[in-house]
C-alpha cells in the first residue's frame, strides 16, 4: 500500500495515483488533517504542487500538518518516504532531509524535460540504475535551487547521499544537486517528477524503475503506523473526504479538499 499525501494546494497526487495503478500497486490519498497512515503502508509519497500556496517558503507551512507527525514516525522506524518536487521541499523544511530549496537563479520558472546523471545507487530507489547513467525526467519548479553549506555538502558526498545531479546548471543548485536521501537511505527527495516519466509516450520512461523500486519496498516489520489518536486507520474504500474524523467533518470549509480561495482569505484563525 502506497500512501499519497494531499495538502491544500497539492496538485500531483493524481499523477502519482495513476503511476501506482499503471505499475500495479494499490494506493490511498491521505488528507493532511489525518493523524495516521493507512494500514499496511509500505511507502509514503509526498507529491508535488504548491502546498498552502507556497506562502512563507515552499513547504514551510505543510511541515506543521498533522499527517507529518505520522510520516516522521514512519520514517524514524525505517519506513520509506519519497518527496517529489514540493514534496522534496516539504521534507527539507521538516528537517527530514538536509538543506533547503530556494528560488531558481534568475527567478525563472523551469518547465522542461531535464537530463540528470545518477550519482549513487546503493539505495533502494536507484538500485537498478548505474553510476553516471543519464536519465530524462521532467521538471516544473520555481524553487528548485538546492542549497546546503560546505559541511553539509561534504557529509552528503561522504555518505553517498546525493542521488542525482542536473547535467547542466539550470537553477543554481549547489553542486547541481537534484535529489538526495537521508543517512539511513530510507527518506528520499528530488525535484524532477519520475511519475511523469513512466511511459515512452510521455517522452521518457526513465522514472518507472524508481517508482517500481519504492512501491515494491517492504516496510520493516518494526514500522508502526498506529497513533495515540483513538481513530482507526483509514478506510481505503472511502474517499479522502469521508475518511475524515467527526471533528473535521464539522462545518468548516477549510477542512475540505475543495477549498475555495475566498474561504482561505476570510479565515485567519485556521489552526495548522
Residue 217 has a pLDDT of: 81
When pLDDT is cut at 50, 70 and 90, the band that residue 221 belongs to is low
What's the half-sphere exposure (Cβ side, CA atoms, 13 Å) at 255? 16
Whether residue 44 contacts residue 82, with contact meaning beta carbons closer than 8 Å, is answered with yes
Cβ 195 vs Cβ 46: under 8 Å: no
pLDDT at residue 225 in the model: 55
Domains and CATH numbers, the chain: 2-253 (3.40.50.880)
* Tens-place pLDDT, residues 23-43: 999 999 999 999 999 999 999
- Residue 261 makes CB contacts below 8 A (sequence gap 6+) with none
The pLDDT value given to residue 135: 98
Report how far residue 195's alpha carbon sits from residue 46's, in angstroms, rounded to the nearest whole number.
12
Q: Is the pLDDT of residue 257 over 80?
A: no
**Would you say residue 247 has pLDDT above 60?**
no
Question: Catalytic site residues?
Answer: 85, 193, 195
Q: How far is it, in rounded angstroms, from Cα 27 to Cα 259?
A: 23
Confidence of residue 255 (pLDDT cuts 50, 70, 90): very low
| Cell numbers describing residue 160 | 553517498
Give the rounded percent of residues in the chain with a pLDDT score beyond 90.
76
| 73-90 per-position pLDDT tens digit | 999 999 999 999 999 999
What's the pLDDT at 5?
98
Q: Note the pLDDT of residue 77.
A: 96
- Stated as kind and residue range, the H or E segment containing 145 is strand 145-147
* Pairing between β-strand 145-147 and β-strand 100-102 as defined by DSSP bridges: antiparallel
Closest by Cα among 153, 70, 139, 78 to 104: 139
pLDDT over 90 (residue 265): no
Please check the confidence at residue 71 and state whether its pLDDT lies above 90. Answer: yes
Query: What is the C-alpha separation between 173 and 170, in angstroms, rounded?
Result: 8
- H helices of 109-195, where? 150-158
Q: What is the pLDDT of residues 125-173, one digit of tens each?
A: 999 999 999 999 999 999 999 999 999 999 999 999 999 999 999 999 9
Residues near 99 by Cβ (< 8 Å), separated by ≥ 6?
92, 146, 147, 148, 152, 174, 177, 180
pLDDT digits (tens, 9 = 90+) for 160-192: 999 999 999 999 999 999 999 999 999 999 999
Task: Compute the distance between CA of residue 141 and CA of residue 110 in angstroms, rounded to an integer.
Answer: 5
* Residue 166 and residue 99 in contact, taking contact as beta carbons nearer than 8 Å: no
Which residues are 84's β-sheet partners? 190
Amino acid at each position: 500500500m502506497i500512501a499519497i499525501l494531499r495538502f491544500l494546494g497539492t496538485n500531483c497526487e493524481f499523477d502519482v495515483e495513476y503511476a501506482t495503478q499503471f505499475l500495479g500497486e494499490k494506493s490511498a490519498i491521505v488528507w493532511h488533517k489525518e493523524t495516521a497512515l493507512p494500514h499496511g503502508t509500505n511507502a509514503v509519497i509526498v507529491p508535488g504542487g504548491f502546498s498552502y500556496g507556497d506562502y512563507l517558503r515552499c513547504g514551510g507551512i505543510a511541515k506543521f500538518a498533522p499527517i507529518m507527525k505520522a510520516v516522521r514516525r514512519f520514517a524514524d522506524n525505517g519506513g520509506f518516504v519519497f518527496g517529489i518536487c514540493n514534496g522534496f521541499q516539504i521534507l527539507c523544511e521538516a528537517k527530514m532531509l538536509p538543506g533547503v530549496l530556494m528560488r531558481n537563479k534568475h527567478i525563472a520558472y523551469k518547465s522542461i524535460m531535464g537530463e540528470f546523471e545518477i550519482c549513487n545507487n546503493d539505495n533502494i530507489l536507484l538500485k537498478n540504475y548505474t553510476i553516471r547513467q543519464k536519465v530524462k525526467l521532467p521538471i516544473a519548479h520555481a524553487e528548485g535551487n538546492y542549497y546546503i553549506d560546505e559541511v553539509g555538502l561534504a557529509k552528503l558526498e561522504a555518505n553517498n547521499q546525493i542521488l542525482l545531479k542536473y547535467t547542466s546548471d539550470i537553477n543554481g543548485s549547489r553542486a547541481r544537486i537534484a535529489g538526495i536521501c537521508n543517512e539511513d537511505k530510507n527518506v528520499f527527495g528530488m525535484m524532477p517528477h519520475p511519475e511523469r516519466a513512466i511511459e515512452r509516450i510521455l517522452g521518457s520512461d526513465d522514472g518507472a524503475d524508481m517508482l517500481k523500486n519504492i512501491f515494491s519496498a517492504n516496510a520493516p516489520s518494526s514500522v508502526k503506523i498506529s497513533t495515540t489518536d483513538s481513530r482507526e486507520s483509514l478506510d481505503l474504500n472511502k474517499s479522502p473526504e469521508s475518511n475524515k474524523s467527526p471533528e473535521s467533518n464539522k462545518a468548516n470549509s477549510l477542512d475540505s479538499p475543495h477549498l475555495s480561495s475566498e474561504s482561505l482569505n476570510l479565515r485567519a484563525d485556521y489552526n495548522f
